[in-house]
Each structure stands twice: as structure tokens, then as C-alpha cells.
Amino acid sequence: MPKALERDLGLPAVLAISIGAMVGSGIFILPALAIKIAGPAVIFAYVLAGVLVVPAALSKAEMATAMPEAGGTYLYIERGMGPLLGTVAGIGTWFALSFKGALALVGGVPYLLLLFDVPPGVTTPVALGLAVLLVLVNVFGAKQTGRLQVVIVVVMLAALVWFVIGGVPAVRQPNYTPFFEGGIGGLLAATGLVFVSYAGVTKVASVAEEVSNPDRNIPLGILGSLAFTTLLYALIVTVMIGVTDPTNIAESATPMAVAAEATLGSAGVGAVILAALLALVSTANAGILSSSRYPFAMARDRLVPDSMASVSERFGTPSNSITLTGVVLLILIAFVPILEIAKLASAFQILVFVLVNVAVVAFRNGSTTYEPSFTGPWYPWVQVFGVVSGLVLLTQMGVVPLVGAVVLTVAGVGWFLVYGRNRVDREGAAVDAVRRQVGRNAVDRTRRVINDGGVDYRVLVALDHEVSKAEERPFVRAAAAVARANDGEVVVTRFEQVPDQVSLTYASETESPADVQFETQTGELDDEFDVPVSSGTIVCHDVRHAVVNYADHADADLLLMEDAAPSRGLRGLLFGSDVEWVLRHAPCDVGLLNVGPEGLGDLDIVGVLSDEGPYDPAKIAVADALAVAGNGSITLAYAGRPDASEIEEQTLQDYHAEVAALCSVPVESCVPFGDTENAEAFTDADLVVVSAKERTNDAIAAYLTGTDRPVLVVHQQESEVHGRLVRAIERRLF
């Protein structure tokens, strides 16, 4: 049994972690860059960015109460979207938070240089020293981390509040004009830039397993800290622009200090420097705390080595995961240009927020157990807004950040394919949600097909050689069953092929004994079945073209023919059989009947066999009509796939139940399914119905080859409309 983490983070610590993760580079570094883009409208950019974060905040708060475990974003996306995207989100977010922590440490040093007369070369050593200190604090325990975070945030906020209150009297109105200096484009670009200022709002979800009373403290911590920080950001930027020339701010590496010097003097500058150092150290601290939990959670899911999931017996923390994160942080500080890398990571963070919103939709629509104690309001419109707004912001980040996000995504996919794919067999809630939607769409199509019968429904029975009454009867019987279910009629036509040298007019003027016998026996069959049955003979040079042309001329809804083995050799490779040609060119649905050596007997059980996709509607409709005519029942089953998960089996059971509700006879469902189960279930089937395309499936082909039961192959012409891609997706999901 894996070790659990101690739940010792209360609401103050949750608020402190979340606020501390946000109030950092977003207010002490980014305003200078954002003002260059949008001018004074950067105030709105911060407010707009805070609003755009709300969907992800609500979604994460909801999922965190349903799954209060370490891992946060990774956990939710992995459970919701599957292990592949979970790996991408886990690795990418881990790096993104590490990048942001490194940026915070390096970005705080310019403020330190204002306080001490030290050469610029000490920037990296000081940042490395702070990083080592914070890593050690995190290794010693989350309780110490939470307490340190509370102290840091309280002191930092006191200094920032003093900055706002002390600066308001010095605000000058002309500094805000022109307000929309960069236009709407500049506003959106600045919003995309400062969006990362709020990324830390959901960091607390990654330590949810260590939060006491998570049902209450996680939503309050996430939403409360977001509202507070958005207001604080707007006030600080408003004062910052109002007390000094925006140009001076845009050109400074320490914009907060510039503004403080204009209003509060040296004491204000000292307070701002202290706040900046505390804020940036707090951001780095929260980044180490939360990012280190991603390898921890991924290791428990076997997506990274097991050593990352070990918990220190002495300190009760995932020391290996924290140490690895610390090493990455030190490497980034020492060797990588942090600012550009942080922008790349920010773009990926927006993409992750998009996936977070999609994950909530997946959980709510899938059959996975999902019982959050807090549910976000206005579902699903909030999530839709979050997805759309996130994608819009991505377009404002520039080419390089987008390319970087793609690189991180490819890296995550590559790691999963190389390491994780063979170690996990889970699927996300989104897969099941899509599978259920595919099932509902298939049920709707089946309902339309079953209900579309009625006036002028016509079944054309095409015979291409002389047949006896006994040989003709199974075809007329099957056609009559389908026609009866649709209040239609049966047209039985014999196609007589003559050599090309013989005139069709001449051949049609002569009535042969075979023609007379055919008319007589079909008339007798007309008396046997309670549907109109008419007959005729067509003389032709090419049977397959004649069948297709006559089906179109007769406005047939179903063409019923005798099945034939595919052509072999070179001709089969190049041209296929006549039957296959008819399937491709027929203007209507096609049924291919092989009555087998024992003929078509009682239809007590009509078996409907499918491969990995949902049942073709025409196949269900025909099977139901035949079962009704025989006062029998239907058995639904799949070939192969004995490794279906419990969730997949339940979804298929529900799908079968919906299909059964459309049928007029009792329906049995063969789920769980597999080769052995299907073989046993179909032992008693009097007729097996399959789709034409499914005959190439190995499991179905093996069954059809080994059975002497009658087989009806149904080809729904309308199914071609859905396209191969949709069909491939349906087959994969089912």
C-alpha cells in the first residue's frame, strides 16, 4: 500500500500558497513589458486576465474536491483525458512551474541590487543560493512550507497595501491618457502576457492531498485568492501608472521601485524592495512545492520511475521528487535564459488550462465515478468560455511561445510512447464520454432507419441464374419480412445474361420454360406471404450493371442478393467480385444472403455480430424485422476485444439497452465479450447478421468460415456518408 501524505495545510496556508504563487513576477516584473504593449489599458488587461482564469479556477476547484490527491493538473487531465495527455500535462506543467520559479528568483535580484552596492555578477549565485534554501525547506515538510508561506505573504501584502494607500493621493489623471494606446490588439496581447500572473491560483490543487478539510478549504482558497489578487493587481497597476510617467515604468527593470520612489520616498522604496524579494521568493517556494508533486503523482500512476513516488519516512515529504525538481531549477538558473523560457512555459500553461476545462466536461459526461463536493456554476458555459478564451490568448503569445508549447507537447508524447504506454492500460473519462456520444448518435441513426419505412418501401430480390422454388423461397421470405415491417412490397427479378453478340430485343421476345417456371413459383410464394410479391425477368449483357440500374429504376430501398465468395487471383485483386462491385455502386442498401447447407429454418434467435464499431442501423433494422417474422429474439455481440475495461463494458451494456429499446423483440446483450463468449453465445443463433465491411475482420471471418448457420450480410449505403475517419474513430472507441 503506497504511503499517504499528511493533511496539515489549513485554509490560511492554502490562501497563502495560492496568493504567494500569484503575487510575484506578475506585478514586480511584467508591468514594464505590458505597458509597452497596451499603455495605461494594462489595468484592464490584468482585470481581463483574472476573469479569463475563472473557468479554470472553478474547474480545478471542482475536480480537487472530487480527487483531493497530490498531482493537481496532471491528475485531473490524466483521469479525464487519459494517460497520454496526462503525461503531456504532467511533464509540461512540471517544467512550466520550474521555469516560473527560476524566473522569480532571478527576477528578484534586480530589486536586491537597489538595496546593496553589489556587482551584477552576483545575480546567479544569489539566485542559486535561494533555490537551494527553498528546496531544503520543502524537503523538511509541507507544514514548515505552509507556515513559511503565511509569514511571507502577510509581510508582502502589508508592504503592497501601503504602496496603494500611500500612492493614491499622488495619482495624476493625465498619466492615463490616451488610455487605449495600443488598441484592442494591444489589450489582448497584454492580457496574454500577464495571464501567467494568475497561473499560481490553481497550484494549491497539486497539494490537495495535504490539505485538511479539502471540500471547504480548496474552493475557498482558490476562488478567494483569485478575487483578492485580481483586485490587488488592478489597484497596484493603477497607482503605478498614476504616480509616474508610464514611459519610466516601461524602461525599468524594477517598475514597482520607480513608482514607490515617486510617492513614498526611500522608505517606500525599501518596503517595495522587501515586498518584491518576499513575493518572488514566495513564488519560487510555491513553485517548488507544487511542481515537485507532479513527478510524485505520475510515479504512482507508473508514468515515471517508481522512485519519484517514495515518501521520506523522516520528513513525510516526496524527497526524491523535490530533489529532482530542485536540480532542474538550479540548472535553469545557471544555464538557461529564463525570461524567454518562462514565456514559452506560459503558453503551455494556457493550453493546460484549456485541457482542465475540457476534463471537467469529460468527467461529467463519462461513466467514471466522479463525486465532487463542490460543483462549479453555469456548467458547461463556463468551461466553453474558458476553452475559447484560452485558445484566443494562445494566438496572442507569438510564434516562438507557440512553437515551444508544441515542443513540450511532443516531448510529453514521446516520453509516454517510450516509457509509459506499456505500463498503463487506463483510459480517460473523455474517451468514455465520447464513446457514449458515439453510441447515442448511432442509436439516433438506428431510430431514423427503423422509422423511415412506410409508403412505397420496396425490397428487390435479384437472382442471376435459374433457381428452384426451394432455392428462391429463403430470399422471398427474408425480403417479405423486411417489407412487412415497413408496409412495403417485394419485387423478385431474375437477370438472364446473354452473349454480347445476341440482340437484347431478340432475346427478350422469346419466353423460355425457365421463364415460365420462375413466374409460376414466384406466384405461389406470393400466396404464401402476406405482402405483395411481383416478379419479372430482365435480359442483359452484364448482370452487375443491370442489377444496379434496375435497383435505381425500381426505386428499391433494399437490394437482396445471394452472397458469393470474393474473386481470387489477379482478377480479384484488380477488379474484385461482381458482388463487391454491386456493393460499391448500388443506389440503396444491400443484403447478401447465404442460406448455408441446411437452408433457412426457424428464426428463433437472430444473432447480430459486429466488430469494434457501433452497429450499422440497417443491420439492426433488418435483424429486427426477421426476428419479428420468426417470433424470435435478437442477440447482440462483438467479435474479439476480450480485454475490455469495466467502464467500456458498462458503456456497451447501456448502448445495447438503448438499441434494444428500439427493437420489437427481446434482445440479449453479450457483454462482457470476447472470442470464447461470442462463440458460445452464437451457437444457438439460427441466422447471423453482419455488415459487409466487417467480413474482413479476422474474428468475424473466422466465425463465418467455421459456421454452417445462414448468414445475412447487410451493407448500408448511407454509412458511406459518415466517412472513413468517423468510422475509424467509432471502431477505436468501441
User: Is residue 560 over pLDDT 90?
Assistant: yes
Return the residue matching grid coordinates 520607480: 258
Q: With contact defined as beta carbons under 8 Å apart, do 608 and 620 qualify?
A: yes
CA angle 614, 618, 624 (to 5 degrees): 95
Higher pLDDT pick, 67 / 481: 481
Q: List pLDDT tens digits, range 207-231.
A: 666 667 776 777 788 888 888 889 9
| pLDDT band for position 385 (cuts 50, 70, 90) | very high
| Cβ-based burial of 577 (10 A; exposed 0-12, middle 13-18, buried ≥19) | middle
Distance CA(199)–CA(98), nearest Å, equals 13
User: Is residue 148 over pLDDT 70?
Assistant: no
User: Is residue 643 over pLDDT 80?
Assistant: no
Q: What is the pLDDT, as a whole number, of residue 405?
A: 76
Q: What is the pLDDT, as a whole number, of residue 598?
A: 76
Q: With contact defined as beta carbons under 8 Å apart, do 223 and 59 qualify?
A: no
Q: With contact defined as beta carbons under 8 Å apart, do 609 and 635 qualify?
A: no
- How far, in whole angstroms, is CA 274 from its chain's centroid? 45
| pLDDT band for position 637 (cuts 50, 70, 90) | confident
Residue 523 three-state SS: helix
User: Is residue 574 over pLDDT 90?
Assistant: no
| pLDDT band for position 259 (cuts 50, 70, 90) | confident
Q: List pLDDT tens digits, range 526-547.
A: 788 888 888 888 888 888 899 9
The CA distances from residue 364 to 218, 425, 432, 538, 646, in Å, are 20, 22, 11, 59, 18
| Cβ-based burial of 599 (10 A; exposed 0-12, middle 13-18, buried ≥19) | exposed
Q: Within a 13 Å sphere around the CA of 39, how many CA atoms are in the beta-carbon half?
A: 13
Return the residue matching grid coordinates 525599501: 270
Higher pLDDT pick, 455 / 357: 357
Average pLDDT, stretch 10-36? 76
Question: In the beta sheet, which residues pair with residue 533?
Answer: 490
- How far, in whole angstroms, is CA 51 from its chain's centroid? 25
| pLDDT band for position 55 (cuts 50, 70, 90) | very high
- Looking at the chain, the whole-number percentage of residues with pLDDT higher than 70 is 81
Average pLDDT, stretch 679-702? 74
| pLDDT band for position 549 (cuts 50, 70, 90) | very high
User: Is residue 71 over pLDDT 70?
Assistant: no
User: Is residue 249 over pLDDT 50?
Assistant: yes
Q: What is the pLDDT, as a whole number, of residue 47?
A: 92
Distance CA(54)–CA(37), nearest Å, equals 24
Q: What is the mean pLDDT of the chain?
A: 78
Highest mean pLDDT among 31-40, 446-455, 574-583: 31-40
User: Is residue 372 over pLDDT 60?
Assistant: yes
| pLDDT band for position 572 (cuts 50, 70, 90) | very low
Q: What is the pLDDT, as a whole number, of residue 382?
A: 92
Considering the four listed CATH numbers 1.20.1740.10, 1.10.760.10, 3.30.70.2860, 3.90.1150.10, the one that applies to the domain covering 11-426 is 1.20.1740.10
The phi and psi torsions of 99 (rounded to 5 degrees) equal -60, -45
- Looking at the chain, the whole-number percentage of residues with pLDDT higher than 90 is 7
User: Is residue 576 over pLDDT 60?
Assistant: no
Q: With contact defined as beta carbons under 8 Å apart, do 65 and 373 qualify?
A: yes
Q: What is the pLDDT, as a whole number, of residue 720?
A: 46
Distance CA(101)–CA(407), nearest Å, equals 20
Output the CA torsion 694→700→703→708 (10° steps): -10
Distance CA(318)–CA(341), nearest Å, equals 26
Q: What is the pLDDT, as a whole number, of residue 567?
A: 46
| Cβ-based burial of 496 (10 A; exposed 0-12, middle 13-18, buried ≥19) | buried
The CA distances from residue 469 to 474, 477, 484, 562, in Å, are 9, 12, 21, 15
Tell which phi-psi region holds residue 466, choosing left (phi > 0), alpha (psi between -120 and 50) or beta.
Answer: beta
Distance CA(77)–CA(84), nearest Å, equals 9
Closest CA to 240 of 272, 267, 266, 270: 272
The three cell numbers of residue 484 are 412487412
The CA distances from residue 3 to 209, 299, 301, 441, 594, in Å, are 12, 13, 14, 44, 61
| pLDDT band for position 298 (cuts 50, 70, 90) | confident
Average pLDDT, stretch 273-284? 76
User: Is residue 630 over pLDDT 90?
Assistant: no
The CA distances from residue 638 to 594, 642, 673, 697, 725, in Å, are 21, 9, 6, 11, 21
